[in-house]
Amino acid sequence: MRDPDGLIARAGVRGDPNRDQHFLVDDRVLDRLPTYLEEIDADTSHLLEIGGGTGALTDRLLAMGDEGDHVTVVERDRDLAEFLREEFAAEIDAGDLTVIEGDALEVDLPAFTASLSNLPYGVSSEITFRLLPEKRSLVLMFQREFAERMVAEPGTSEYGRLSVSTQHYAEPEIVETIPKEAFSPPPAVESAVVRLRPRNPDYEVDEEEFFLRFVKALFTQRRKTIRNAIRNTAHISGLEAPEAVVDAADEDVLRKRADAMAPTEFAALAKLAVDVGEPCED
């Protein structure tokens, strides 16, 4: 395996916290990361890495593959993308690696089978919710606090919109916490690795976009009852007739707060809102 510090030296760069650049340099962590996909027998025939940096993780992903497997790396920093093309020229020439220079929120992503990525923390939420609808196995690194909110259960202080939205698409599991010292330069916070296994929820959602928007709206009023949250957030949810939803909803639900609502309850309430609340179409 290529030495992480050697890669940084050859690239002639330093991580820049102001640009969300923290290079993972702990060999033990780097070596463990691929095992989190292997443990669930994920399809690794086309791995996607967001934020390749200097290629320490890229090197491990290439080592995972069998003949004919492929790795695609998306890197927004022009100099780092050029370094990756130079450092891994042999792998690119062999057809094992593709380097895409650009923003992961804007470029066309390939039809990947799984993703293993140390995400830029500033845009980790946006990138994650671009990946989750693809229903692929994901192993992603986040700020620890963010990861804990992803896996939180109803009734806990961490439970929120992120919990419901994540668990709508996948079964999230924190598989490892990472100390600051594993990075160069060390970030201000601890990190955590989350494994996300795609799932079909045990409830039905007819209009997914509205469901996610409705959940977002209600959590903006998390300290209010659901009754008042529905009334107060029609401008966010897009309901033309929020009172009709309140009149039709079960009283036990209306007395709850958003942070006590399970995803199944949100789904049932969203279905009712679609049926009687006259949601406006985008």
Q: According to the annotation, is 24 in a ligand binding site?
A: yes
Q: According to the annotation, is 95 in a ligand binding site?
A: no
Q: According to the annotation, is 118 in a ligand binding site?
A: yes
Q: Are strands 114-118 and 46-50 parallel, antiparallel or unpaired?
A: parallel
Q: According to the annotation, is 176 in a ligand binding site?
A: no
Q: Indicate the length of the chain as a whole number.
A: 282
Query: What are the tokens at 33?
Result: 């990361």
Cis peptide before 185, with omega less than 30 degrees from 0? yes
CA dihedral sign, ordered 82, 83, 86, 91: negative
Rounded Cα–Cα distance for residues 50 and 105 (Å): 10
> How many Cα atoms sit within 13 Å of 195 on the Cβ side?
15
Give 252-277 as a DSSP string: HHHTSBGGG--HHHHHHHHHHHHHHS
Q: How many CB atoms lie within 10 A of CB 91?
A: 19
Give 49-114 as a DSSP string: EE--TTSHHHHHHHHH--TT-EEEEEE--HHHHHHHHHHTHHHHHTTSEEEEES-TTTSPPP--SE
Q: According to the annotation, is 145 in a ligand binding site?
A: no
54's CB contacts (< 8 A; 6+ apart) are 4, 7, 8, 10, 11, 13, 23, 80, 83, 84, 87
Q: According to the annotation, is 75 in a ligand binding site?
A: yes
* Bind-site residues: 22, 24, 51, 75, 103, 118
Binding residues for S-adenosyl-L-methionine: 22, 24, 51, 75, 103, 118
